[in-house]
Amino acid sequence: MKIDNDCLLRALLRQPVVRTPVWLMRQAGRYLPEYRATRARAGDFLTLCKTPELACEVTLQPLARFPLDAAILFSDILTIPDAMGLGLSIDEGIGPRLARPIVAPGDVDRLGVPDPEGELRYVMDAVRAIRSALGTRLPLIGFAGSPWTLACYMLEGGGSREFHRAKRFVYDEPRAAHRLLEVLARAVGVYLRAQIAAGVDAVMVFDTWGGALSARAYREFSLAYMERIIATLPRERDGRRIPSIVFTKGGGPWLEAIASIGCDAVGIDWTQAIDDARRRVGSRVALQGNLDPAVLLAAPARIETEVAAILADFGHGDGHVFNLGHGITPQVDPSHAGAMIEAVHRLSPAYHRSH
């Protein structure tokens, strides 16, 4: 199946495009009043994720407002720990909670790899519903959390600022930590392959908490497992390449290492200069990013200036996907997101070959 607008897929594979593709992390979310209305109808966020028709509806909402170059599956990275039996709840203002966290090495032995067409069937049904609603219009991005980021939530029982429980576990119980990361890597691999079979056109691994680790621990406990996952993904489906994106928030110091694990693209947060990042990864991977999400709180004229600066810093040539450096925040006025997207459309063609 050929995708009509394949700008994103081409840019991820560093092929020529006429303009820089753009999408937003968390593009379906609380900053949109129509999202809040659908969530209210569902009752809560998790029910929204677990009801394929509603997950499909909110996935399409930002596409009805803005000329985005991709849809991203509406779901959450914590579907895997939930399916492993840890008991997920996500409450407004409190954030994610796991009722039965991993506290002792023995707890790891009870974890199995969830069946994507069993416990996680609702995710695959959402992918199929979105694929059929989108038709061939736009690519659909699937995703999962990195093993390390999932382990953080499973060991902390929720979000954390310092990750002391998770870090103590990897240092005090390295063998159990490796067993945990191993079962998570298998679960994520099976899950992403099932998403690809169900119809996603690209996949992204969110390593939100990789940047909390030391350089050495990052390689051992996060990067090594993402490398294993990437190695198990099919390169193609129906003769078309399925690009992969790896995003480690705070991973700037390790860009070269991330670019060498076999992924097609690397996401960068706003703390990196994109010109410097491009020099460092060379022609190995495409780059995705990296506007500071807080810029969207500023006036549209200022947003345009910041978009222009990132496009100029990346410079001429292909291999850039415009995005935020992390998810869009609930406080953003939707018209400001629109101003960002419009600026990318208007200013980016000058940097591509046809000009």
* Phi, psi torsion values for 248, nearest 5 degrees: -105, 110
Is 26 one of the annotated active-site residues of the chain? yes
CB atoms within 10 A of CB 299: 10
CA distance 287 to 14: 9
Q: What track of x and - describes contact with ligand CP3 for positions 298 through 327 (by CB under 6 A)?
A: -----------------------------x
For 233-246, the DSSP string reads S-SEETTEE--EEE
191 is catalytic: no
- Which among 31, 35, 153, 191 is annotated as catalytic? 153
| Polymer length of the chain | 355
Active site residue 30: yes
Residue 206 contacts ligand CP3 per CB under 6 A: yes
Considering only residues 2 to 61 of the shown chain, the ones binding ligand CP3 according to CB under 6 A are 25-30, 39, 45
CB distance 268 to 320 below 8 Å: no
Q: How far is the CB of 301 from ligand CP3 (least distance, A)?
A: 26
CB of 202 to ligand CP3, least distance (A): 13
Task: Give the nearest distance from C-beta 99 to ligand CP3 in angstroms.
Answer: 16
| Contacts of residue 73, Cβ cutoff 8 Å, sequence gap at least 6 | 55, 59, 123, 126, 127, 130, 140, 141, 142, 143, 195, 200
Cis peptide before 5 (omega within 30 of 0): no
Near ligand CP3 in 219-248, by CB under 6 A: none
Q: Select the residue interacting with ligand CP3 from 20, 146, 195, 208 (CB under 6 A).
A: 208
- Among candidate residues 14, 19, 39, 97, the one labeled active-site is 39
Nearer to ligand CP3, 176 or 245 (CB): 245
Strands 95-98, 88-91: parallel, antiparallel or unpaired by DSSP? antiparallel
Q: How far is the CB of 345 from ligand CP3 (least distance, A)?
A: 20
Nearest CA among 279, 277, 274, 268 for reference residue 324: 268
CB of 139 to ligand CP3, least distance (A): 14
Q: Which stretch binds ligand CP3 (CB under 6 A): 87-95, 160-168, 278-286, 287-295?
A: 87-95
What is the helix (H) or strand (E) element at residue 144, kind and residue range?
Answer: strand 140-145
Is 39 assigned a catalytic role?
A: yes
- Identity of the residue, 84 or 347, whose beta carbon is nearer to ligand CP3 in the bound complex: 84
Least distance between ligand CP3 and beta carbon 78 (Å):
5
Q: Distance between CA 346 and CA 335 in Å, rounded?
A: 16
What is the SS3 assignment for 96? strand
Residues at the site binding ligand CP3, with contacts judged by CB under 6 A: 25-30, 39, 45, 72, 74, 76-78, 90, 92, 95-96, 143, 159, 206, 208, 327
Residues with a catalytic annotation lie at 26, 30, 39, 76, 153
